[in-house]
Amino acid sequence: MSPAQATTKRIAILADVHGNLPALEAVLEDIEVQAPDEVLVGGDLVGRGPQGSAVIREIRRRGWVSIRGNHEEYLLSFRRHDVPPDWLHLDEWAAARWMAAELSEDDIEYLGTLAFSARCDSIPQLLLTHGSPVATSDGLGPWTRASKLDRLLAGIEESVLVCGHTHRPMVRELDHGLVVNVGSVGLPFNGDRRAQYAIFTWVDGDCRVELRQVEYDLEETLSAYRTTGFFEAGGVTAELLRLELLHATPFLVPFQRWADAIGKPPETGRLDEFLDFYEPDEPLRDFFLRIESMFERPC
Ligand SMILES: [Fe+2]
Ligand SMILES: [Fe+2]
């Protein structure tokens, strides 16, 4: 077949916006220029950021299909009070309560309709899930063994598995096909603060992937933290999320795991001690091993 006869389809997939409206707006502008045939959204529109409702509005306005991430599940659980009773008053969950309350009834109804996975018309060989085909919180990242990725591919009908959740973009070619993590629009963890997403080009059975990075004004996002009241209400969690935005690396989960390891509540008063201990450049797996070995408690 000559190049002129080849069928080319392009789709954009974005995920993990996390209530960061300025980052989403920058990606929307970039998508407009790229003009793909179709756009899919890989979940975690909300949570870990103050403008979840506005993000939902922008996605719905365009009629794009989104799936649900673990943060949609968390905030729905908070709204339904379907969480452990402590979570409804402890400081460490203040940010989650604030983000759940920020959503309208219409937003909640919409989030409740989101499916676990999605396929698209343009590339029938592509399956989108938030974490993995097993669970929304089963994260796939550069550290995931090839044998696991290949097993996941062998378990689905499609040859291209696309995911988000770990906030770390990757493209992995395996025996059974391709696994792609599109990274995060609103809260990347790969050391690059820019908003990230991916464009897939399908040419007669061949899938090419372009990971894209888009500059945006981080100060606008931090300004939204202040003007919406999120920073004041969100306590230590909001401060850790601010650090995640600035460093494009995890702070919140390491803080929670460290507090758990020393047997203390993850409160604001312990933040300085944690920041003295934590090395943001250290791979997370090494950090977890370090705190396990240092603070191992007797059974
Ligand atoms: Fe996420
Ligand atoms: Fe997630």
Q: Which ligand minimizes its atom distance to the CA of 140?
A: 2
Centroid of ligand 1 to alpha carbon of 175 (angstroms): 28
Residue-wise pLDDT tens digits, 20-30 = 999 999 999 99
- Is residue 145's pLDDT more than 50? yes
Residues around ligand 1, an ion, CB closer than 5 A: 16, 44
This prediction has a pTM of 0.94
Calpha distance 267→147 (Å, rounded): 39
Centroid of ligand 2 to alpha carbon of 73 (angstroms): 10
Q: Which ligand minimizes its atom distance to the CA of 139?
A: 2
- Supply the pLDDT for residue 297: 56
Pick the CATH number of 3-214 from 3.10.20.30, 3.60.110.10, 3.60.21.10, 3.10.105.10: 3.60.21.10
Centroid of ligand 1 to alpha carbon of 130 (angstroms): 9
Strands (E), the chain: 8-14, 38-41, 65-66, 117-119, 126-129, 160-163, 170-174, 177-181, 195-203, 206-214
Centroid of ligand 1 to alpha carbon of 159 (angstroms): 24
- Is residue 255's pLDDT more than 50? yes
Calpha distance 83→20 (Å, rounded): 25
- Supply the pLDDT for residue 273: 93
In this predicted model, which residue has the larger pLDDT, 40 or 293?
40
- Supply the pLDDT for residue 21: 98
Centroid of ligand 1 to alpha carbon of 43 (angstroms): 8
Centroid of ligand 2 to alpha carbon of 128 (angstroms): 13
- Supply the pLDDT for residue 92: 86
Q: What is the mean pLDDT of residues 178-206?
A: 96
- Is residue 69's pLDDT more than 70? yes
pLDDT band at 1 (very low <50, low <70, confident <90, very high): very low
- Supply the pLDDT for residue 121: 87
- Is residue 149's pLDDT more than 80? yes
Centroid of ligand 1 to alpha carbon of 2 (angstroms): 42
Domain boundaries, given as residue ranges, for the chain = 3-214, 250-294
Q: What is the mean pLDDT of residues 100-111?
A: 98
Centroid of ligand 2 to alpha carbon of 141 (angstroms): 12
- Is residue 190's pLDDT more than 70? yes
User: Residue 191: is it exposed, middle or buried by C-beta count within 10 angstroms (0-12/13-18/19+)?
Assistant: exposed
